[in-house]
Amino acid sequence: MQRLIEYLRTPRGRTIVKYACVSVITTLVAQGTLWIIFYNLRLWSAVPCNVFANVVAAVPSYYLNRRWAWGKDGRSHLFREVIPFWALSGAGMGMSIGTVWYAAHFAHLHHFGHLSTAILVNAANFTAFGILWIVKFLVFNRLFKAATGEELEPMLMEV
């Protein structure tokens, strides 16, 4: 445990902690937005609400990861940062669209109430993005690099 604490105090470790914090923040944004527009407001069906919530959460995710977690400032590079970020976000949204569609379909087939359906839809969205969390970390590391100039992949083997 002491070794882990020491590691988290290194530049690499701080990047991991910041990335995790950004993930918590953007998860709260996505889950909160999805809950409000699907459960409370009933604006659209589950899939369009899911897409909207994920796009809303992707904006702070990009800027917080780039600037705070990886310490990158200045203008974003379209082909090296922006397009790969949105491609990865799109892949995550595609995965969450599938899980959310299935969850809503399952709830409909089993005559769930709106509250139960909303809980299942939010859980499906959370699960889809949870699966991609490590993959996104590795890709963001390549996109933004650490402020220290080192890549962070070897840290996964060290801990």
37 vs 82, residue with greater confidence: 37
Q: What is this structure's pTM? A: 0.80
Tokens at 69, concatenated:
């977690």
Tokens at 19, concatenated:
């990335």
Tokens at 74, concatenated:
């200045």
Q: What is the pLDDT of residue 135?
A: 75
Distance CA 85, CA 45 (A): 27
Q: Say if CB 57 and CB 115 are below 8 A apart.
A: no
Q: What is the DSSP letter of 71?
A: -
Structure confidence at residue 148 as a pLDDT band (50, 70, 90): very low
Number of H helices, E strands in the chain: 7, 0
Distance CA 150, CA 128 (A): 29
Boundaries of every domain in the chain: 2-158
Average pLDDT, the chain: 87
Q: What is the pLDDT of residue 54?
A: 95
Lowest mean pLDDT among 75-79, 116-120, 142-146, 154-158: 154-158
Structure confidence at residue 144 as a pLDDT band (50, 70, 90): low
Burial class (CB in 10 A: 0-12, 13-18, 19+), 61: buried
Amino acid at 148: T
- Kindly tell me if the per-residue pLDDT of 139 is higher than 90: no
